[in-house]
A and B are shown apart, each in its own frame.
Chain A
Amino acid sequence: MPKDGGIGSSTKRREDVRFLSGTGRYTDDINLHGQLYAHFVRSDVAHGKINGINADAAMAMPGVVRVFTAKDFEGVGGVPCGWQITSIDGSPMQEPKHPVLAEGKVRHVGDPIAVVVAESLGQARDAADALEIDIEMLPAVMDMKEAIKDGAPKVHDDLSSNLCYDWGFVEDNKDAVAKAIADADHVTTLELVNNRLVANPMEPRVAVGDYDMANDEHTLYTTSQNPHVIRLLMGAFVLGIPEHKLRVVAPDVGGGFGAKIFHYAEEAFCTFAAKQLRRPVKWTSSRSEAFMSDAHGRDHVTKIELAMDKDNNFTAIRTETYANMGAYLSTFAPSVPTWLHGTLMAGNYKTPLIYVNVKAVFTNTVPVDAYRGAGRPEATFQLERVIDKAARERGVSPIELRRQNFITEFPYATPVAVEYDTGDYHATMDRVLEMADHAGFEARAEQSKKNGKLRGFGIAHYIEACGIAPSNLVGQLGARAGLYESATVRVNATGSISVMTGSHSHGQGHETSFAQVVSEMIGIDATQVDIVHGDTSKTPMGMGTYGSRSIAVGGSAMVRATEKIIAKAKKIAAHLMEASEGDIELKDGQFTVAGTDKSVAWGDVTLAAYVPHNYPLEDIEPGLEETAFYDPANFTYPSGGYACEVEVDPDTGKVDVLSFSAADDFGNVINPMIVEGQVHGGVAQGFGQAMMENCAYDADGQLISASYMDYAMPRATDLPMFKVDHSCQTPCTHNPLGVKGCGEAGAIGSPPAFVNAVIDALHRGGHKVEHINMPLTPDRVWTAIQNS
């Protein structure tokens, strides 16, 4: 039994006290003296030339302080992109300028054209109506395949085409893969769409810029998953403010799901305008604005081929993907369809030859970037769908086909450049089939049939790469950043501890689980440890939270810093007990000397560090505070088996999800309750993608799912009670906690399980439907049945 508050215990989340009692402090709760309000005037057309903007009437409206347009940003940098991809021919990706406010052209519905800053938000909005903007409409570039044809209208006139890059991976394997496919006994081919999604965190984005003239200091309060990254990108590339004059604070943040990783124009605007106007400037996104200004997710169109020998061993995989970048490159957009996607195409399977081609395309849509899972859901979906189709074509069980091709020996170097350290895929498969009562499925299917319904069973098995990542590796891959994490452990005189982490919590419960780790290492009560995050003036330079990296990378930095603390504390304890340092042991907050009954408490040692009267000052400095930066040796590789049971109503196409089981291998688990919550949330979002959510544009580039009237978010009543389990544990071999990360797994592994279950149900009902593009709305399922 883990001790309460220690590693492995389902301690209740301490942050929930403030979240659930309405006493959290979110960015929108921050109101500064003399604050002005910014209202962004956004394009209502997808593509157009700005012939002129006349702000005279708007400027004359009550309360208006200033109207900003692109002209005000001459000499200010564009919003930068943090990852460069190199095309097959060796050329760097095409990287257009992303101005803070549209220059000359608007490129998507929602592209900001001007900002009205006024004494009140109402006044700013009223004045915006008086702004005269003359826009000449241009043809919208919407379809990716059309967009890269010769003569297609261009999103960026100064680029050679709408093709951002054409990436081949691993290019050296291309011919061998082609040969293996040509020689294969059987090739299963599937064309599919990974639907565009809107992240929809509960809290919309907010930015408050403040400027202290006396000290020439800027502060930006923002809804961010990584304040240090924002400080670096905005300070160095957009506004030219050195780090020591720029503080970025991301206080309580109400969900991010990726969309709050990126540096956005609104952040730069508020910081810039606050200095120009010498008053704080606040912007709060409306929900409607969020739909057209938060980076979207996914939006891939893919063809995948899976080659097999006569015994159904996988021999090769080849994919061709068109990845939508939207109108501009968002911060990490180029990395998502490439390194976060291509490297995962081996899945759990020992396919010797793999080739991935990705064409990234500019269109007149909102920029697309990482969304929970980022690239890995796209890879998993292709693979887990094509395997199901292959099993059907070969007349074998999709479960057995997977098992037969599972990787079983570790470490395993895939043909797509990564090395899995541990895993036991048969174990998670066994476990999930047991949880889902697979054995009893046929009887349940019979029962459904009697009720006029079609029951289906869907299985998916995923691998993901988390804990991004070794900095030298990602540097070679084009990242313009390091991906270590930092922690400072500050032990106070009485023994209580503040941990300053570069990770950021926006719903993940770090304040609870991180405290569990540090307190367990020292053997004190978890309430003695506080976690501080989200303020560049308090925490060491850190890369923030995304990619399920916080416990694996941020937690490891914290462990390293705590180890340094313990080492120093042992020296002090040795001095206090007049013993040799090598004989000191720390257990339950007591230092003892091995083989004696001497002991000194944690609090006595920490006090000695700050009141060094009896202290080895000649050997060590007073104080007890240590910082560690941890750069991981490898990614971590969580994996798992997901099973889903559905019932389809053939008359309406409506799908009811009857059960969902998840057997995940996350390695060691710090707080099981938090881990389960993360899986619940991930699976709910995976369900949303598979069954409901669809960010849709019409041919003219109008966003037709621009509110909750048309963008379908899942609700609790749409979902069954999930069965989740993480008892299969193969600890990560290269980080000190043996942890792998759990934040994205649900969103990565579940979409193919849902879709496989529906397709299975249809086949059982005699409807030969090979694929339905997500989301599997009733209309789409019914139409597929009609066309089968």
Chain B
Amino acid sequence: MQNFEFVRPTSVADAVAALKGDEAQPMSGGQTLMPTMKARLAAPEILVSLTAIDEMKGVRKDGDQIWIGGGTTHATVARETAESYPALSSLAGRIGDPSVRSRGTIGGSIANNDPSACYPAGALGSGATIVTDRREIAADDFFQGMFMSALDEGEIVTAVKFPVPQKAIYQKFIQPASRFPLTAVFVAHFGDTVRVAVTGASSDGVFRWTEAEEALQGNFSADAVSGLSVSAAMMISDLHGSGAYRAQLTKVMTQRAVAALA
């Protein structure tokens, strides 16, 4: 790791100001950024810790939505949404291991948009809104491909607002080494609409499987998906699974999600 300056502002405004510095980068749980710095793949000159900003923490009701501060750890989300949004709670509760969950944050995960991360599927599948220090962005517009998002330089995810579906579930098939999703599917049923978000599979990062959504809207059963398939061409192919295998998992995980909810 290279030397850096470390600042720990206590308000979003101060953090935004600190991020205007040269080669400044925000850090939340550091569960992604620290290993990257240790491997010398990132070398920010100023590290702006977001962990002392109270206004970015917590889980609360916001009308019929759930507001989760961007600095809220996975462990806290798992605990505090257990009743209000069990599918999200179960997603958060299965990220990494206890030490990762006690440090890693929803804001860090969403901002990072790892193509195999869990939260992007939860946010996209729920039709969540990403709140930043300067605007609100619909999840549909936020995730823009592997490690790419709508965030501008120095923009901070301060919260994520989740509409609560009638029923939802997260089906995670783990990559055996990292235990991140090899492919995971978040299915949310809102009564009139169904959303299906897939992570781990596509080389474009998290995506909505719209064909399945349409099929399930009319007939919310595993059978509705059996005739469908996703193209293997756009899928990630690596040591842990071919594109064809990930396409298969996308379908099977979707069917299992629906079967568990129906």
Name A's B-contacting residues (CB within 8 A): 122, 125-126, 129, 288, 651-654, 692, 694, 696, 704-705, 708-713, 777-779, 782-783, 786
Contacts and interface: CB of A to CB of B under 8 A. Distances in A.
B248 interface: yes
Contacts of B99: none
Contact of A783 (B173, B242, B252): B242
30 contacts: A122-B3, A125-B40, A126-B2, A288-B39, A652-B173, A652-B248, A652-B249, A653-B245, A692-B177, A696-B239, A704-B239, A708-B177, A708-B178, A709-B177, A709-B178, A710-B178, A710-B239, A710-B240, A711-B177, A712-B176, A712-B177, A713-B177, A778-B176, A778-B182, A778-B245, A779-B240, A779-B241, A779-B242, A782-B245, A783-B242
A692 B178 contact: no
Given A126-B2, A652-B249, A652-B252, A777 B176 contact: yes
Contacts of A692: 176-177
Q: Which size class do B's interface residues fall under?
A: 10 to 19
Chain B: interface secondary structure? loop
A694 B3 contact: no
Interface string B156-185: 000000000000000001001110001000
Contacts of B3: 122
Nearest to A649: B252
Interface string B122-156: 00000000000000000000000000000000000
A778 B248 CA distance: 12
Contact of B241 (A651, A709, A778): A778
B239 A705 contact: yes
What are the 5 closest A-B residue pairs judged by CB atoms, nearest first?
Answer: A712-B177, A712-B176, A779-B241, A709-B178, A779-B245
A708 B100 CA distance: 15
Nearest to B245: A779
Nearest to B43: A129
A694 B239 CA distance: 9
Interface in B215-262: 239-242, 244-245, 248-249, 252
Nearest to A694: B239
A783 B252 CA distance: 15
A653 B183 CA distance: 14
A782 B177 contact: no
A535 to B, nearest CB: 34
Contacts of A713: 177
A711 B179 CA distance: 11
Nearest to B248: A782
Nearest to B176: A712
Contacts of B252: 651-652
Given A704-B239, A710-B239, A778-B241, 16 more contacts: A122-B1, A126-B2, A652-B173, A652-B249, A694-B239, A705-B239, A708-B177, A708-B178, A709-B177, A777-B176, A778-B176, A778-B245, A779-B240, A782-B245, A782-B248, A786-B244
A125 B3 CA distance: 11
Nearest to B252: A651
Contacts of B40: 125, 129
Contacts of A708: 177-178
Nearest to A698: B239
A697 to B, nearest CB: 11
Contacts of B182: 778
A122 B3 CA distance: 9
Contacts of B239: 694, 696, 704-705, 710
Contacts of A122: 1, 3
Contact of A777 (B39, B240, B249): B240
A240 B207 CA distance: 63
A744 B241 CA distance: 31
B243 to A, nearest CB: 11
Nearest to A653: B245
A704 B2 CA distance: 25
Contacts of B2: 126
Contacts of B177: 692, 705, 708-713
Nearest to B97: A715
B71 to A, nearest CB: 25
A696 B2 CA distance: 30
A709 B82 CA distance: 29
A98 B39 CA distance: 28
Interface in B1-51: 1-3, 39-40
A705 B177 CA distance: 9
B34 to A, nearest CB: 14
A709 B245 CA distance: 19
B184 to A, nearest CB: 12
A692 B177 CA distance: 8
A666 to B, nearest CB: 32
Contacts of A704: 239
A144 B240 CA distance: 23
Contacts of B1: 122
A125 B43 CA distance: 13
A488 B11 CA distance: 68
Nearest to A709: B178
A693 B249 CA distance: 21
A486 B147 CA distance: 59
A783 B240 contact: no
Contacts of B176: 692, 712, 777-778
A125 B240 CA distance: 32
